[in-house]
Amino acid sequence: MRATSEGATRRPGLRLGGSWLGLVPFFAFALLFLFLPILYLATGAFQNAAGEFTLANFAELATPNLRAAYSLSVRLSLISAALGTITGVLLGYAVILGGLPRWVRPVFMTFSGVASNFAGIPLAFAFIATLGRIGLLTMVLRDVFGFNLYGAGFNLFSFWGVALTYLYFQMPLMLLIVAPALDGLKTEWREAAEILGASRRQYWLRVALPILMPSILGCFLLLFANAFGTLATVYALTGSRFAVVPIVLYQQIQGNVLYNPNLGYALAVGMVVIMAVSNTIYLVLRTRAERWRT
């Protein structure tokens, strides 16, 4: 009996040890590719080319060119996140709650999983081939419908053109992360609102949207962080003419003219701080939204 009881008391410990062992790869990758690089960046940001301690790198972030780069990145991220949030919520409502045939949802969710990861040079090439000055859609609109897209003021290589390009992966990402919140809307809440005399519009304005709002705002912040760190897409689309922070950082670390790695490290630390604040608020909002799922 004693041996049996000792074995029984040991088994939970062994299972716990095996469970923790499965987390070792995650912690190893997080340490090697997240925490150590951030520590390296933070150390380099407080050093000059000679390795001496300095605050000049962070002081230089206040110069007009770098302030403009941060402002451009923030505005582009906010606009693309807002467009992705609005269109993603509308798409999620149509796919999940719109009463469409059952095959529609898995098709859209599968496509969204692919499209949300389609970025960089392939995405830029796809938009140039479609909406460039001699792109397919541009030519069809001009030759078939007599509408000159670029003559009307559109420019794929402008601020709004880049925001439109970002929308390709922002909208499906929003659909993927807002779908659980839409699934969490209980039928009983709608039925209770209808029993109390609420119209469909009143139900959405006073019941559903207040419940969904923490999730929607959290998803918006996640889209903001996703757009803020994007480099390959905007670089392939506009080259170095569109000076967002990731491009300026790349020029400081790899460039031949603007080569100043320590200033690049300070730029990277600024990006890390902005994204850390965004993700922290997202986690707070997600915790608040999960209260309704219990």
* Euclidean distance between CA atoms 273 and 117, whole angstroms: 24
Assign 45 a pLDDT band (cuts: 50, 70, 90). very high
Q: Among 293, 93, 291, which residue's Cα sits nearest to residue 204?
A: 93
Assign 16 a pLDDT band (cuts: 50, 70, 90). low
Assign 15 a pLDDT band (cuts: 50, 70, 90). low
Q: Quote the pTM value.
A: 0.85
- For CA atoms 216, 217, 219, 223, the dihedral sign is positive
Residues 6+ apart with CB under 8 A from 233: 119, 120, 121, 123, 124, 162, 165, 166
- pLDDT average, residue stretch 30-59: 90
CA distances from 103 to 98, 168, 172 (A): 13, 22, 17
- Residue found by looking up tokens 């582009």 in the block: 76
In the chain, pLDDT over 90 holds for what percent of residues?
A: 53
Strands (E), 68-226: none
* Euclidean distance between CA atoms 183 and 84, whole angstroms: 19
pLDDT in tens, 98-121: 888 999 999 999 999 999 988 888
**Where are the chain's structural domains?**
1-45, 64-293
* Euclidean distance between CA atoms 44 and 40, whole angstroms: 6
- Residue found by looking up tokens 């150390």 in the block: 43
Assign 17 a pLDDT band (cuts: 50, 70, 90). low
Q: Given a cut of 50, is residue 14 above it in pLDDT?
A: no
Give start and end residues of each alpha helix (H) in 132-199: 136-143, 159-183, 187-195
Assign 282 a pLDDT band (cuts: 50, 70, 90). confident
Q: Among 47, 83, 93, which residue's Cα sits nearest to residue 265?
A: 47
Cβ–Cβ under 8 Å, residues 165 and 156: yes
How many CA atoms lie less than 13 Å away from 132 in the CB half-sphere?
11
Residues 6+ apart with CB under 8 A from 184: 292, 293
pLDDT in tens, 223-264: 999 999 888 899 888 887 888 999 898 888 876 667 788 999
Residues 6+ apart with CB under 8 A from 248: 65, 66, 69, 258, 267
Q: Looking at domain 64-293, does it have CATH number 1.10.3720.10?
A: yes
- What is the per-residue pLDDT for 7? 47
- pLDDT average, residue stretch 110-138: 92
How many CA atoms lie less than 13 Å away from 146 in the CB half-sphere?
0
Q: Among 219, 144, 209, which residue's Cα sits nearest to residue 175?
A: 219
